[in-house]
Amino acid sequence: MKYMLMMHAPKAGWTTAGIGTWPPADLHAHIQFMMDLNKKLKASGEFVDAQGLAGPEQAKSIRARKDGTPDTDGPFAEAKEFLAGFWILDVDSTERAYQIAAQISAAPGKGGVPLNMPVEVRQVMSAPPVDM
């Protein structure tokens, strides 16, 4: 079964205390952690896709105007968290998806302290339907 794991990073202090302000060694450790994690997920045969998203400073929300042209809104400075990246994984159980989400959540931050970011876990609708 496939799951999407969405990693939400805290927006508050993103520029003042965010990843760009960490000591280089901490930043390196964080990046290495994510690379190792993806390597492990590929090796375990569970990896489908993973992407990091560009920072929230440029994030826009789009709605169609009456004539169908895009109406852009944002960025939203007041948002508490933003989607920083996602994984799509094909795992044998929900528990396994939760386990990986917990690993992501505990990614090392400043000074190596676990970030404990919220990771939203959603099932991808790929199950075969049953006869009705």
Partner 1 sequence: MDLAIEHLLRELAPQVLGAMMRRFGDFAAAEDAVQEALLAAALQWPREGRPDNPRGWLIHVAARRMTDQARSDFARRQREAFVFLYEVADEALEPAPQDAHAEQDDTLALLFMCCHPALTPSSAIALTLRAVGGLTTAEIASAFLVPEATMAQRISRAKKSIKSSCVPFTLPDEAEREQRLAAVLHVLYLIFNEGYTSSAGEELHRAELSNEAIRLTRAVHHLLPRDGEVAGLLALLLLTDARRPARCGPNGELIPLKEQDRSSWDQVSISEGIALISATLPRGSIGAYQLQAAIAAVHDEAPSANDTDWAQIHALYSVLLRMSGNNPMIALNHAVAAAMTHGPQAGLDLLDALDADGRLAGHHRLDAVRAHLLEMACDRRAAEVCYLSAASKTASVPERNYLATQAARLANDPVKP
Positions in the binding site for partner 1 (CB under 8 A): 1-2, 42-49, 90, 92, 123-132
Residue type, 80: K
Helix (H, G, I), strand (E, B) or coil at 109: coil
Instruction: Work out how close the CB of 33 gets to partner 1 at its nearest, in angstroms, rounded to a whole number.
Output: 20
User: Closer to partner 1 at the Cβ: 43 or 77?
Assistant: 43
Closer CB to partner 1, 64 or 125, in the complex? 125
Closer by beta carbon to partner 1, 77 or else 127: 127
Contact 109, 26 (CB under 8 A): yes
* Least CB distance to partner 1 at residue 45 (A): 3
